[in-house]
Amino acid sequence: MFKKILIANRGEIAARVIRTCQSLGIATVSIYSKVDKEAPHVTMADEAYEVGNPRVTDSYLKIGKILEIARLSKADAIHPGYGLLSENAEFAHRCEEAGIVFIGPPADVISRMGSKIQSRNTMEKAGVPVVPGIAYPLADAEEAAREARRIGYPVMLKASAGGGGIGMQIVDNESEMKQAFEGNRKRASDFFGDGAMYIEKVIENPRHIEIQILADSYGNTVHLGERECSIQRRHQKVVEEAPSAYLDELTRSKMGEAAVRAAQSIGYRNAGTIEFLVDGNKNFYFLEMNTRLQVEHTITEEITGLDLVAEQLRIAAGHSLNFGQSDVTRDGHAIEVRIYAEDPKTFFPSPGVITKLAIPEGDGIRHELAVHEGSMVTPFYDPMIAKLVVKGKDRGEAIDRLQQALAQYQVQGIKTNIPMLQEVIAHPAFRSGDTTTGFVAKYLLEKT
């Protein structure tokens, strides 16, 4: 096993990785920007190094500087967390060149799956169902309109290199296409350096359900069941649960088998997630692959009893999986909510100083924190400041515990989305399992 690991990230995920490393006796190295000097992930680590100015382009995305710190600190490996450089093929390649283990899949796999167009083609060849659409970059708005007429409106216009909802837009008719195409292509180019766009048929009122997989270097691949991530705002997840209240055992089994087949078709290694859209008839379609640890990995851990970060480290260190598919079991129900520093009505960020932070404790409650009382929430990073995870013997008990925990959660000095989360959890449609991706727009936004 590794002796020392550098965590090339910040916030709650960096703290999360450090905790597992500590439990395994592995020394840790954190990096931080000038405004993150007192952050939890910095004070928890054995060593910490400043990496640059506040903006991510001047700090957490500086590949050369991060590798320099890894060499200086004599780190054996780098864990990229999620976001930032976690799915950056160049970073993975540079780690390999420097003789530092990248805790994730090989660079060429990241590159292939980083392009949504290329990954779509790959999955289709592997026999994984894909959403009707095209599998090549559109030349211009006119070609987009022509293909949309062929597929049939509404369509989803998507950036091939996109993520987090950036470069995505539902287009209902031809009159909307030109403006939508040009605007999204520019945003994709600005954010990802790649303006390639493609379109897919919109699946009406789908559920967003993903399958967690683990794969070692010896051809062993297993899935750990599903997570339902349908409660979203602006195409970003805010509530996730495992297992899904919607799937039956047959569909669950088919999706798991498809996810394993998808991973094996590309020679995948380490932890990854295959994301699907599932329609009202339980037909499922490949959406994308995330070649990293997911924000919501916690709920899979809660119901399987596995530490996914520990599994990542073991695989990256060259160990084989020490369990097979038949050994994976599920126990109870887990729900995670993402707590954002944002206005719960507008979803606009709410930076400032946290003057009070009181978090609930009790059976079945888990916290992943990026802040502490007195922390300054800056406008430079994603506004997620914490995750609240609850587990119950069944979905009803998990929802009850979550309602109680949210009622006790106190954050002062900034606005948070806790009121919005309480509204979601309390809604009869949520308790009944009516959790499609249109939930927020249908049940919350229509009232404002």
Catalytic site residue 292? yes
Q: What are phi and psi of 155, to 5 degrees?
A: -125, 160
Handedness of CA 361, 355, 407, 396 (dihedral sign): negative
* Active-site option among 10, 16, 292, 338: 292
Spatial contact of 270 and 309, defined as CB atoms under 8 Å apart: no
Spatial contact of 416 and 342, defined as CB atoms under 8 Å apart: yes
- 372: which 2 tokens? 């502490």
What is the DSSP annotation of 194-230? ---EEEEEPPSS-EEEEEEEEE-TTS-EEEEEEEEEE
Contacts of 134 (CB under 8 A, 6+ apart): 147, 151, 198, 199, 200
- With H, G, I as helix, E, B as strand and everything else as coil, classify residue 119: helix
The whole-angstrom distance between residue 368's C-alpha and the CA centroid of its chain comes to 15
> Between the CA of residue 430 and those of 205, 222, 251, what are the distances in Å?
15, 30, 21
- 255: which 2 tokens? 């999706």
Q: What DSSP designation does 408 have?
A: H
The whole-angstrom distance between residue 215's C-alpha and the CA centroid of its chain comes to 18
Nearest to 295 by CA among 357, 370, 225, 191: 370
Active site residues: 292
